[in-house]
Copies of this chain bind each other. A is one copy, B any other.
Amino acid sequence: MVDAIDRKILGLLIEDAGRTYAQLGREVSLSPAAVHERVRRLRASGIVRRTTVDVDPDALGRHVLAFVLVDSDGWVKDELFAATRADPRIEEAHSVAGSSNFLLKVRVADPDELEDVLHDLYRVEGVVRSRTIMVLRRGFERGVGIPGVRLTSDVIDPPTSATRE
């Protein structure tokens, strides 16, 4: 249903959705209209959900990233998801298997704001415990990978060496 050409187009669009159909066509050796039709199908089938914009958190002053494991008394998924979704500081929320019930991905400006998030968290009925895993250094964050399609973002940004200038 999605062949090698589709996957290559997906990789190219992930890398830069501003590309023109003519450019895409050149890269996969197809006519602009042919690429246009393939992209239309990728959107119609829901594989491509939307075209969006990648915003740099640091440029907005959001320097602190943390993952929070949440324990609850009772199954408070709906309440917790509703509360976390309404909070722009929380980027992800999942229910998980293991010693905790939920896992949150939180991005804030500073540790003070992280404390605020935790405080708000305990306002959700049933939340009894949390363990916060602070990110010290981000290796990389990217969206869904397309197996077999090498993106330039995989090579740029060389591994941050321990020897810093």
Contacts of A54 in B (CB 8 A): 48-52, 143
Residue contact B92 to A142, C-beta cutoff 8 Å: yes
Residue contact A55 to B65, C-beta cutoff 8 Å: no
Q: Which residue of B lies closest to A89 (CB)?
A: B145
| Cβ-defined partner of A134 (8 Å) among B87, B96, B149 | B96
Interface presence of A73 (CB below 8 A): no
Contact string against B for A residues 1-45, beta-carbon threshold 8 Å, 1 for contact and 0 otherwise: 010000000100111111000000000000000000000000001
Q: What is the minimal beta-carbon distance from A86 to any residue of chain B, in angstroms?
A: 7
Q: How many copies does the complex hold?
A: 2
Contacts of A65 in B (CB 8 A): 94
Residue contact B52 to A98, C-beta cutoff 8 Å: no
- How many residues on the A side are at the interface (Cβ–Cβ under 8 A)? 75
Contacts of A60 in B (CB 8 A): 2, 47, 144, 146
Residue contact A13 to B88, C-beta cutoff 8 Å: no
With A78-B159, A78-B160, A145-B89 as given contacts, are A136 and B50 in contact (CB-CB < 8 Å)?
A: no
In the bound assembly, the distance between CA atoms of A95 and B14 in angstroms comes to: 25
| Cβ-defined partner of A95 (8 Å) among B78, B92, B137, B146 | B137
Residue contact A92 to B49, C-beta cutoff 8 Å: no
In the bound assembly, the distance between CA atoms of A62 and B165 in angstroms comes to: 40
Residue contact A46 to B56, C-beta cutoff 8 Å: yes
Contacts of A81 in B (CB 8 A): 139-140, 159-160
Q: Which residues of A contact B (CB under 8 A)?
A: 2, 10, 13-18, 45-57, 59-60, 62, 65, 67, 69, 75, 77-78, 80-82, 84-98, 100, 102-103, 107, 131, 133-149, 154, 159-162
